[in-house]
Structure 1
Amino acid sequence: MGDSVGKLALAGVTVFVAAMIGVALLVQGAYTAAADDPGSLIGRALLTGSDAGCPSGRATARPSAAGSFDAEQRANARIIVRTGRELGVPLWGQVIAVATAIQESSLRNVAHGDSAGPDSRGLFQQRAAWGSLQDRMTPAEAARMFYLGGQGGQPGLQDIPYTDERMSLTEAAQSVQHSAHPDAYARHEAAATVLVMASGSGGEARRADRLCSTAPATGAVQRAIAYANRHLGQPYLWGGDGPDAGESGFDCSGLTKAAYQAGGITLPRTAQQQYDHGPRVSVTQLRPGDLVFFGTGPGNVTHVGLYIGGDRMINAPRSGTLVRVEDHRRSTLVGATRPTVG
């Protein structure tokens, strides 16, 4: 009898372990499927945290929220993003703000200073001259001061030419913060990008008319956007075609070529060639997956990005930066194309 019970117990444990392994494999498969097809039901649930979304039922692809941040940190990131939106700060400015807060306070409302700034407080470790203790300890007010400047006349991000392609995240953040560690901000760019995109996708932040296309994206477009999303934070490398080609990074056209290669569409190598390849579409009728081009004119295209909706593009900007999300609305916008099979 005892042997029979023991055998039954062992069999039960074996079945349980096998079931858990099966569940783990199913979860892993679900995340893989979500990355490959963010428009699927699984993709919407895992990549956006909801099966609700665009009028067409397809949510714009974005990376999942960074698992290394807890609920308090994500809530503070959302406040920074929401404040930026209210002030009309473009997406890149919101990324700079969140990256700065990660460095300064780990996205926690810190109620103490340190040896470098004993009176520093809050998400941005702003000192007493910036404003009252209450304002510095109120996340929305602290974010507002970071964007617009301190009450003592300190310049804010909006006073800095941070949208200039020659200014890095570190240079922009340091122009506001004047930190003793000026090179520390750049390492948080990828995490900040994930948090900003996650913060801008739900509830009152959702603008379905801007983030979604009325026409469903093809599988090729979904896979191209998913590929670019997975490589946010990859270093810029001139002439780089990315890890799949055995290289440590991308340049702008290397990223778009690799993204569409993942979608089963072959593009020429350079930005000018991709623009010439077409087919052209109006910049007033952009859909997620379109390529947007920049330069001094149709015959001198120098940059390309992958449009993802909501005036946003994923691109590899220049040497010293990472693959990131930026606003596509620039004075140097030349035109757009919509890659197709064939």
Structure 2
Amino acid sequence: MNRRRCAAAAITVVCALTVLAGPATAAHAAPTAPDPGSSAPASVTTGPFPTPPPLSAPSSTHPSGKSLEQVRREIDDLYRKAASATDAYNLAEERAKKQSAEIVRLSRAIVEGRARIADLKDRAGAAARAQYRNGGVPDEARLVLADDPQLFLSGVGRLQQGQKATRDLLAELNKSQAELETYTKQAGAHWTTLEANRARQAKAKKDIEAKIAAAEKLESELEAEQRERLRRLEAEEQRRAQTAWLGSGVLKEAAGSAGPQGAKAIAFATAQLGKPYVWGAEGPGSYDCSGLTSQAWAAAGTAIPRTSQEQWRLLPRVDVKDMRPGDLIIYHADASHVGLYIGDGSIIHAPRPGRNVTVAGAGSMAILGVVRPDR
């Protein structure tokens, strides 16, 4: 009996030691739930203390074998090229609109010119018919045959007036015909230019769509966590550039305040925050970079060029150290991007496809220069 009690006690002690040797939290742990963002199934358990599935580190490479940093640079380059092509598209579109308006104006002038010529010809015909009714005798001969001196003198006056009227009529007819020919030639030239601009538009559109599609394909081939890491890489690169720019002391003298129009432009741009970037768009629901800045300044009462490249080419330039809120900062060597400076080293801009109108560091991209619409 004593021997059986001792064996039972020994078994109890061994069981207790086995439990105590397990994880301290195992008795209170709930079964591990699957990550809501993951498609992996929940782990299958065989007892009250389930073992969590092994964690695998996300791949740091693209399926093509490129690193995420290489992919980021390639995507950035594609969007940059798309932005440049967008500028070409917008410029061609703006010129096409102007050419179309000019063709409409010339067409109206041609119609009016033809009506004027028809009227002049009718008047010339009426004069010829009047002479025919007089028997075809010229007015000069009729004067010579007149017996009444007074009639002769008054006839001379009427003859001179009639001759002048005839000369004026013929001169006006010739002028109208010459103008009509000029209008016709100009309309033809404008039509040729319009067709050339439309061809440039079509080519630019094709280039834009191809580059955006290539960038989106690169990004779509990444896993969700890789895409998030890509965003973080992008944000980190911008943060480094902004920190270096601010550290250069460039803003020490840039303490000016916005003018009345600049303040209105900033207010307009601020109201667009969160709206999506769409290439070629100029509101009200979406914008590209220069669509946003041109509409912001239009709301302020100043018309500026539609594209960032034309804004850089045509607007007055100021030194970066002298910039003030409301100025436009032009980016990249090809002037393919623009943002509206709002002060404190920040801009409002429409970044690129897949992004929304946002506030960013003014030095987060390579600055080409600054222009001031209200100078």
Which category of TM-score, normalised to the shorter sequence, fits these structures?
0.3 to 0.5
TM-score by length of 1: 0.39
**Structure in which a larger fraction of residues adopt helix:** 2
Higher RCO (Cα < 8 Å, 6 or more apart): 2
Which has the greater radius of gyration?
2
What's the TM-score, normalizing by structure 2?
A: 0.36
